[in-house]
């Protein structure tokens, strides 16, 4: 019931915030230094995501002043369909592969919030199957491109509620925020509003990424 309440709150937020929203425009610039690939949460409004993607991208622009940044909004439904996260997973991997081929010096920062964190988990080889709005892995970033992923920034990550997290080669480049009481990422959590408060972590995430770029 708490999980349904969280997702319903995001849906409501989407309806309220859609009009008059100003946000960074998402673009996959030809060959920027850093491409920020953002997977929004279920029903989350905004260009890259009102709660996480947009504020994180703005914070990265402030922190990485010596770098040219582009952004990419992951193309997936971000809804409750059984294939939603899988579609996002495939799109992240396809985007990274195509950008990497076109731009040999470009690096990537992957950002995922809520269902979007499932999308990113899968893309770096950590299955979100069994998690809220999760899916089995359908594609992973090729090992040859792994060094070009500078940072992985996750928020309200549903696999945390299953006791899982990003491990392996990406672990040291990953920061995974889970607010106390957030029922999406904390097993037994009961604070629905905690899942909507990750904008407060945008600067900390940008600082983390800046230390790894």
What are the catalytic residues? Answer: 114, 182, 195
First to last CA, the chain: 40
For residue 122 the two structure tokens come to 């899968």
- What is the Cα–Cα distance from 112 to 157, expressed in whole angstroms? 8
For residue 107 the two structure tokens come to 């690096």
CB 181 within 8 A of CB 190: yes
Three-point CA angle 109, 156, 133, nearest 5°: 100
CB 85 within 8 A of CB 78: no
Closest CA to 34 of 11, 65, 8, 12: 65
Closest CA to 140 of 132, 131, 149: 149
Query: If you ran DSSP here, which 8-state letter would residue 27 be given?
Result: B
């Amino acid at each position: 019931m708490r999980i349904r309440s969280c997702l319903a709150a995001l849906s409501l937020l989407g309806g309220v915030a859609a009009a008059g929203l100003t946000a960074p425009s998402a673009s996959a610039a030809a060959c920027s230094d850093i491409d920020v690939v953002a997977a929004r949460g279920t029903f989350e409004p905004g260009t890259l995501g009102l709660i996480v993607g947009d504020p994180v991208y703005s914070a990265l622009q402030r922190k990485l002043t010596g770098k040219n940044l582009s952004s990419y909004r992951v193309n997936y439904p971000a809804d409750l369909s059984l294939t939603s996260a899988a579609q996002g997973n495939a799109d992240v991997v396809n985007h990274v592969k195509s950008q990497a081929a076109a731009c040999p010096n470009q690096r990537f920062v992957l950002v995922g919030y809520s269902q979007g964190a499932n999308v990113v988990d899968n893309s770096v080889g950590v299955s979100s199957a069994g998690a809220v709005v999760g899916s089995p892995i359908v594609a992973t970033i090729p090992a040859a491109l792994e060094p070009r992923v500078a940072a992985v920034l996750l928020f309200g990550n549903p696999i945390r509620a299953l006791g899982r997290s990003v491990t392996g080669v990406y672990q040291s480049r990953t920061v995974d925020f889970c607010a106390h009481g957030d029922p999406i990422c904390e097993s037994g959590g009961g604070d629905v509003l905690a899942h909507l408060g990750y904008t407060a972590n945008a600067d900390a995430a940008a600082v983390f990424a800046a230390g790894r770029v």
